[in-house]
Amino acid sequence: MTEPTLTLRGVAIYKGWLSPGVQAAMVEELRGVVAEAPLFAPVTPSGKPMSVRMTAAGRYGWVTDRRGYRYEPRHPDGMDWPAIPENVLAIWRTLASETRLPDCCLVNHYTQSAKMGLHQDRDEADFSWPVLSVSLGDDALFRIGNTTRGGPTESIWLNSGDVLVMGGAARLVYHGIDRIRAGSSSLLRGGGRINLTCRVVD
Ligand code: MD6
Ligand code: FE
């Protein structure tokens, strides 16, 4: 059994899980993903532009636009989503499940001013599967709340190479990114942060 470095409100956090070499290899794999399925600027159902840019890999990608939040089998430009990178699947097998692989690896790109409001990941069919996330590049202040809106929250800085698993009673906790520490990592040419979230969708 692999023990997390710490558990915050039921969220398992594996600090420094990925070596610098694996992080660099993953960035190369992600360059391939983005070359096939370009980052796009999503809009919330109410019409508000999000500050992150997004793409995905796997059988499904998570998208949002005026028609709502949902999983789609194709990129908004019409192409299939690329395969989930092997280095990402390897982390999933070790920390999430060996019996089922994720259907979606959502890729979020943050510039220095980007953030993500408190939300639940709840567009999947079966919440018994965990969501696994990987942080690459600049540090991010991650906030974790409760399974209902409101109430106290706690925050932790996520660094490049950290992996987090949201499962069990913590599967539906509210969470978000308050800010990015620009220039804190040299992993990504041009700076910024990439967050990957892997999910079983249907
Ligand atoms: C981020 N993460 O780290 C945003 N969702 O940029 C998420 O929204 C997230 O880290 C579900 C599970 C783990 C996560
Ligand atoms: Fe999330």
Q: Give the model confidence (pLDDT) of 31-67 as tens digits.
A: 999 999 999 999 999 999 999 999 999 999 999 999 9
Write out pLDDT tens, residues 171-189. Answer: 999 999 999 999 999 999 9
CA of 97 to the centre of ligand 2 (A): 19
Helices (H), the chain: 20-36, 86-95
Please name the residue that has the structure tokens 């408190």: 118
Domain-embedded: residue 180: yes
Is the residue at 31 inside a domain? yes
Parallel, antiparallel or unpaired: strands 61-65 and 154-158: unpaired
pLDDT for the residue numbered 101: 98
Band of pLDDT at residue 11, cut at 50, 70 and 90: very high
Q: Is the CB of 109 under 6 A from ligand 1?
A: no
| Mean confidence (pLDDT) of the chain | 98
Note the pLDDT tens digit of each residue in 159-174: 999 999 999 999 999 9
Nearest atom of ligand 1 to the alpha carbon of 52: 6
Task: For residue 1, tell me if it sits in a domain.
Answer: no
- Is 26 a residue whose pLDDT tops 80? yes
Between CA 63 and CA 177 the distance in angstroms is: 18
pTM over 0.75: yes
Q: How many domains does the chain have?
A: 1
Looking at the domain assignment, is residue 142 inside a domain? yes
Residue 160, domain member (yes or no): yes
For the cut 90, the answer to whether the pLDDT of residue 1 exceeds it is no
User: Considering only CA atoms, which of 103, 112, 111, 166 is closest in space to residue 134?
Assistant: 166
DSSP E strands, 36-100: 53-58, 61-65, 68-72
Q: Where in the sequence is the domain holding 64, given as residue range(s)?
A: 6-199
Tell whether 150 is covered by a domain. yes
CATH number of the domain that 46 lies in?
Answer: 2.60.120.590
